[in-house]
Amino acid sequence: MKTEILNAQIPAALQRAGELLKAGELVAVPTETVYGLAADASNAEAVVQIFTAKQRPRNHPLITHIGHLEQLERWVKHVPDWVAPLADAFWPGPLTLIFERHPSVSDVITGGLPTIGVRMPNHPVLLSLLQQFDMAVAAPSANPYQKLSPTSAEQVILGLDGKIAAVLDGGNCDIGTESTILRVGEHQAEILRCGPLSAADLQPYLPLPVSVPHSHTESVSGNQKVHYQPNAKVIICPTESLATLLQAAPQTTGILVYSPPLRQLDCPHRIVVAGNHHDYRKALYAALHRLDQTGAEQLLVEAPPRLPEWADIWDRLSRAAG
Ligand code: TXA
Ligand code: MG
């Protein structure tokens, strides 16, 4: 299959992406977090192809992306009272909510679970696509299973060229890591996956205390310990010892650093990222992708600050380190 590259700024390209999706094809689409591999969520035969293209196990549930709030009723059994304040505050945005699923929702989307994850993405291209075609799309991150999530159309192509009908190029993703996943139960709310929105961000809009579990449940993809992996072996090093470790390391070692003293280190595979959380997050996956392309076999990553707002970065890096 030849994968079409569609420039999202051209209206005809947006139209083409919508038509392909409506025809049951897979199209990678930009979101504010990472690129998603989309299929029309109401077409189970289309959705099932996502698993083949990604080589993803069939029991790993997908997030359903909606273009406006009224669509929620089509996918969930009932809309609980706690939704309105969260949706008002954070949708469209990087927040996935877990609901009891509507009886008509295919097992293919939920991986057989009685629940469904839904979010309204905050990307003008994807929002207008969903609204224009009055469609919801099931979309995991647009990478082969257990590889890095893509934050640009080029990275999508590197992983999935020839396996999907098209990629809608909407530029680089603004946020750069995957959405926060929140499950609101009877007695507590739980963050299932750390992301751009922290427990402190969410708590004011919730009627129950929100917790961040320390151990991940293995049952859901993305909650497995090993995930988000580049090809190179990733080693997280304290700032103080990185230079010494690099001296003893083989030639094929790359570094990913942000501290001023380490920015000058002599290393052919050196990637310098910003030290502030926002820009670091935006650059992280792209940097790991770039490093993989240099052929570096191992990567010394300068440990990020141990501060609460860096929890999402620690989560992704520890999984990359396996
Ligand atoms: O930012 C994002 O969330 C991106 C963009 C494309 O929206 N999507 C994404 O999808 O990261 P994916 O498939 O790579 O990760 C989806 C996560 C998985 O960890 C999956 O287990 C979890 O969502 N998930 C989906 N439905 C669930 C459910 N019903 N219960 C618990 N977890 C669920
Ligand atoms: Mg993923």
Q: What is the pLDDT of residues 61-72, one digit of tens each?
A: 999 999 999 999
**Ligand nearest to the Cα of 148, by number:** 2
Residue 32 in contact with ligand 1 by CB distance below 6 A? no
SS3 for 28? strand
**219, pLDDT greater than 80:** no
Residue type, 244: T
| Test site for ligand 1: of 33, 91, 96, 174, most ligand atoms within 8 A of the Cβ | 96
Distance in Å from the first CA to the final CA of the chain: 33
C-beta of residue 97 within 8 angstroms of C-beta of residue 91: no
**pLDDT (mean) for 44-67:** 97
Q: Is 280 in a helix, a strand, or coil? A: helix
Q: Of ligand 1's atoms, which has the minimum distance to the CA of residue 35?
A: 6
Ligand 1 closest atom vs CA 63:
25
- Predicted TM-score (pTM) of the model is 0.95
H or E element that contains 29:
strand 27-29
Residue 293 has pLDDT above 90, yes or no: no
Q: Ligand 2 centroid vs 245 CA: distance in angstroms?
A: 31
**Does the CB atom of residue 29 touch ligand 1 within 6 A?**
no
Question: For 36-50, what is the mean pLDDT?
Answer: 98
Strands 180-184, 189-193: parallel, antiparallel or unpaired by DSSP?
antiparallel
At which residue do the structure tokens 């209206």 appear?
11
117 lines ligand 1 (CB under 6 A): yes
**Bond before 92 cis per omega within 30 degrees:** yes
CA of 143 to the centre of ligand 2 (A): 7
28 has pLDDT over 90: yes
pLDDT at 275 over 60: yes
- Name the CATH superfamily, with its identifier, for domain 4-211: DHBP synthase (3.90.870.10)
Would you kindly state where each structural domain of the chain is located, as residue ranges? 4-211, 233-321
Q: State whether residue 258 is helix, strand or coil.
A: coil
State if residue 28 touches ligand 1 by the CB under 6 angstroms criterion: no
Say yes or no to pLDDT of 146 above 60: yes
Distances, alpha carbon 314 to alpha carbons 143, 269, 306, in Å = 20, 22, 8
